[in-house]
Amino acid sequence: MIRGSQSYSLLGWIVSFIIICSIFVLLRFWSSRIQKRKFYADDFLVLLAHIAMIAMASVTIWGIVNGLGNPATELSIDEFKVMAQVLVGASVTWTVSTTVVKMAVLWLYTRIFDVVIFRRIAYGLIGVCACYGIAFEIVFITRCNPVSQEWDPVPWGSCKDPKETQLASNSINLVLDVAIVVLPMIPLWSLQMALTKKLVITGMFGFGFGTVAVMLYRVYVTVHANPDPALALADVGLLSFIELWLGIIVACVPTTAPVFRTYVKPTLFKALSQFCGYSRKTISNPIETIGGSGKASGGRSGHHHNFRSNRDYAELSIASTFDSRRSSDISLVPPSGAKTRTHCGPGGVVGSPGLQGGVYVEQQFHVQELGNNNRIR
């Protein structure tokens, strides 16, 4: 049975964040339904990461029921055997979850940014993450020979020090986390958009720094582990969970704007109107995620990247304006729903005295947020 304050505390953390992460995953798929878009690889990867996290939680709860979180001196021989099985099971499921959630974030990047070198780096990191996951799955499973040596020992069996494998895994994981968090910052800050918009989007991607901080502390805890193996397992287990929880939330946040635009924002406006006397026109610059309103100009390319929304879903709107006399090349291929408006005037472009004797063509692409193949360039 569950006993001890640390055991109840760990159980509370697990149950609470399973609920929170499940809500974010549901919001992600609800948003895709609002957008009426197909499911992408990162959607399935996030779902797999969530399932693996729940599997790890189930193994850990089994350990809690058998004394996990209590000093080793209070555990029976059978409970010690359970702790050894929990270590193997939690290590395997944690590796699956942390690997695929990293791959999900990177795959999401490739749908947002259409810079060739950026996408190559992202795909390269996806490959590195996959190799990391496969390698450490093998390492964790084969740490003991046979695998059951710690709970069903045989005379010829042996086990490696778990501290070494955990330290190697955590160190590589930390490097990958830093690379994933830093990767989108360079193309994001190269865009010509309002500073406040850059800060909002940077903050959204920057949630990943929380995962980096957790991994740094986990490396410290691994090096300075509690001498009591049962308590050390509980400490490392909680930090491992926090990393996964933050990773799943970070992977889902950029895709949840449609739900908030469709349901939360109208409710907020209605509440403010009733209790504070505000009207929709008096409220400006609401908190936004990807797909919020705003403009990012692409500089020399002549593209303007707008984060805007309509009543039903948030969208990434990309407007391209060009002079037909100077260029016949449009770098963004319009989707089937593109709208083209042509303004001609006898003396040049209507409202644009700088372009004389030409034809002004404006193409307005309404792209559902992260829903089509059109991305930030």
- pLDDT (tens digit, 9 = 90+) per residue, 257-293? 888 888 877 888 777 777 776 554 544 444 344 433 3
Contact 27, 256 (CB under 8 A): yes
Which tens digits make up the pLDDT trace of 125-139?
Answer: 999 999 999 999 999
- pTM of the predicted protein model: 0.71
Amino acid making up residue 296: A
Which tens digits make up the pLDDT trace of 56-85?
Answer: 999 999 999 998 988 888 888 888 889 989
Contact 14, 57 (CB under 8 A): yes
Residue 345 DSSP code: B
Q: Is 294 left (phi over 0), alpha (psi -120 to 50) or beta?
A: left
Considering the domain 5-255 in this protein, what is its CATH number?
1.20.1070
Helix axes 77-112, 162-182, angle to 10 degrees: 20
More confident residue, 268 or 51: 51
Amino acid making up residue 179: A
Separation of alpha carbons 46 and 28, rounded Å: 9
Separation of alpha carbons 295 and 290, rounded Å: 12
More confident residue, 330 or 258: 258
Is residue 340 over pLDDT 50? no
How far is the CA of 30 from the CAs of 66, 90, 259, in angstroms?
A: 38, 30, 7
**Residue 221: pLDDT band by 50, 70, 90 thresholds?**
confident
For 194, the 3-state DSSP assignment is coil
Q: Where are the domains of the chain?
A: 5-255
Contact 234, 71 (CB under 8 A): no
Residue 316 DSSP code: E
